[in-house]
A and B are shown apart, each in its own frame.
Chain A
Amino acid sequence: MISRLSAISLNTFREAVRDRVLYNLIVFALVLVAGAPLLGQISIDIEQLALINVGLSAISLFSVVIAIFIGIGLVSKEIEKRTLYTILARPVRRWEFIAGKFFGLLMTLVANMALMTAGFYAAMLVYQHHLTGADARLLIAVYFTILELLMVTAITLLFSSFSTPIFSAVFSFSLFAIGTFSEDLRNFAALAHGATKWFSTVAAYAVPNFASLNVISQVAHQQPINGRLILFNTLYALLYSAAVTAGAVLIFERRNLK
């Protein structure tokens, strides 16, 4: 089982890194990071702040875009090219295929993140001429972005398991946008009454919570991040992505591929 999973994951990774769109997005993100000090220069006293805000935001946003654009084609492309039938004809179970795709995409995204983070720190080095211990704190925001990607990957895979690439992209982006406002949804639930309260509370917990994973402003202002927040965010992202991937498996198991 492990060998089958790793084979699918590695193949997904290899296929993804051959995609030219991926490189275009990474280069664009790196150009944005490199250009961040320019934004600081047309303002007053926010050069470093602008570099951190623009850099970390670019890494986060482009990673999400990459996750969705690669993720939406993971299943449908295999069906379109009819390679899925060859894979499933071997002793590979459907859940192994989905899990393998999930880990493969995650590997790709983490590799991209590493590349973009290296670019970000290089820009910091050029701007500041040196890196300090305090700059390592920025890695918490990067880590939270990886947790965010864990959830986005699972969501994209869920939609990809039953829908067309274009609809998967629309659904995934919509859910990402809703997830960034999930705390407002919860605030709304707290104010509502009766059935509206019940419905909005369920909706608030069903949609992903990306708001708590965005600590870019805090790290940019050198505010401490609570260790318990790191722990519970990790737990939340792992459990949520596992639940969504299980949903994707459930749908894909029942899907008629004939």
Chain B
Amino acid sequence: MKANYRARVVAALLLITMGAGSVLALRKVESVRGREATLEEVLYLPSGKTLKRISLGYSGLLADIYWTRAVQYFGAKHHQHATRYDLLYPLLDITTDLDPHMIPVYQTGSIFLCQKVPEGAGQPEKAVILLHKGIRENPEYWRLYFTLGFVHYMDLKDYKAAKDDFETGSNIPGALPWMKIMAARMAEHDDIETAITLWRAVYEITKEDSVRDSALKHIVSLQADALIEELERRIQTYREKTGSLPGRWSDMIHAGLLREVPNDPTGSHFKLMPDGTVDVQDATQFPFLGEVRTNKN
């Protein structure tokens, strides 16, 4: 009886210590393999269609796993400020082969693809291919036309294609009326208000935190751009009136061109530069500042 008791105690102790040891060893294994261990294997898999055949009917489950992997991959690369996202499109393609009706993959995945490096993969052409695939498989889903129009307008600067996308999408039953308004606004290239409207829609459509964060940064940067454009226009008016540039904001206030020292969208004062241009105090708050203005010029 005593020997039995001793054996049980030893077995229990072994179970606890070896179990804890195995967790520590596994953590070491993980650190050696790195975060992308599971993703590297994807490269050896031929295609989503083959995977679908060998999934024994559980392709939906496999699609969920692959979408999770795509999000993990993008998140890890984004965190590292990577400049290459080689596996992103293959992962999205495999996911949508496994489940062609997984709408978030097309919507959010295309935003991952189209944004400029390091915010995204810088592959707007691939985003268009993915969205065309999504539209082919889900022709009744008008929001995919919105995202396609967004990519054409913002990243590829193909305004005619963007107009066609918004128009086609607006004709789908259930499409919101602003799709028609967007189609009409496509004639105004690199318009800040249009860009803000598009980014607001992206912010509302997506649930992915990194995309929402990027959309917010774009909106704030564009709002600052709009304010800077207006301030610089007033500075030119001051110059025409007085023949010289204002030295400080109070000159503009005394001239009746401003009511108070202007603030950027974060609440900080704008900087008045000696050459008559306007800048923000903290450029890190506005990572996309000047993008639309540069395109216009």
Contacts and interface: CB of A to CB of B under 8 A. Distances in A.
A and B associate: yes
A243 interface: yes
B68 A187 contact: yes
A182 B72 CA distance: 15
Find the residue from B8, B17, B21, B22 having the highest chain A CB count within 10 A.
B22
A246 B18 contact: yes
Contacts, number: 96
Find the residue from B15, B17, B65, B72 having the highest chain A CB count within 10 A.
B15
A190 to B, nearest CB: 8
Contacts of B30: 186, 212
A209 B29 contact: yes
Contacts of B19: 239-240, 243
A253 interface: yes
Contacts of A229: 29, 32-33
B44 A95 contact: no
Interface in A178-237: 181, 183-184, 186-188, 190-191, 205, 209, 211-212, 217, 221, 226, 228-229, 232-233, 235-236
B62 to A, nearest CB: 10
B25 A93 contact: no
Find the residue from B10, B11, B71 having the highest chain A CB count within 10 A.
B11
A58 to B, nearest CB: 16
Contacts of B22: 236, 239-240, 243
Interface in B11-39: 11-12, 14-15, 17-19, 21-23, 25-26, 28-30, 32-33, 37-38
B69 interface: yes
Find the residue from B8, B12, B29, B72 having the highest chain A CB count within 10 A.
B29
A253 B26 contact: no
B4 interface: yes
Contact of B32 (A183, A187, A221, A232): A232
A254 B8 contact: yes
A242 B44 CA distance: 34
Contact of B38 (A184, A233, A239, A240): A184
B72 A209 contact: no
A241 B152 CA distance: 56
A35 interface: no
Q: DSSP class of B's interface residues: helix, strand, loop or mixed?
A: helix
A93 B7 contact: yes
B204 interface: no
A233 B10 CA distance: 25
Contacts of B69: 184, 187
Nearest to A230: B32
Nearest to A43: B46
B72 A183 contact: no
Given A212-B37, A229-B29, A253-B4, A184 B15 contact: no
B41 interface: yes
Contact of A253 (B8, B32, B41): B8
A250 interface: yes
A243 B15 contact: yes
Give the size range of B's interface with the partner: 20 to 34
B25 A243 contact: no
A54 interface: no
A217 B44 CA distance: 7
A137 B36 CA distance: 23
Contacts of B17: 243
A247 interface: yes
Given A217-B44, A235-B25, A235-B28, A183 B18 contact: no
Contact of A249 (B3, B7, B65, B68): B7
Interface in A86-110: 93-95
Contact of B44 (A221, A235, A239): A221
B11 to A, nearest CB: 4
Interface in B41-98: 41, 44, 65, 68-69, 71-72
Interface string A12-36: 0000000000000000000000000
A187 B72 contact: yes
Given A183-B38, A191-B68, A236-B22, A243 B14 contact: yes
A205 B23 contact: yes
Nearest to A216: B44
B11 A250 contact: yes
Contacts of B10: 95
5 contacts: A95-B10, A191-B71, A209-B29, A217-B44, A246-B15
Given A184-B38, A229-B29, A246-B11, 12 more contacts: A93-B4, A93-B7, A95-B7, A95-B11, A209-B29, A212-B37, A239-B21, A239-B22, A242-B18, A243-B18, A243-B19, A249-B11
In the A-B complex, the 3 residue pairs with the smallest Cβ-Cβ separation, listed nearest first, are A243-B18, A246-B14, A236-B25
Interface of A: 93-95, 181, 183-184, 186-188, 190-191, 205, 209, 211-212, 217, 221, 226, 228-229, 232-233, 235-236, 239-240, 242-243, 246-247, 249-250, 253-254
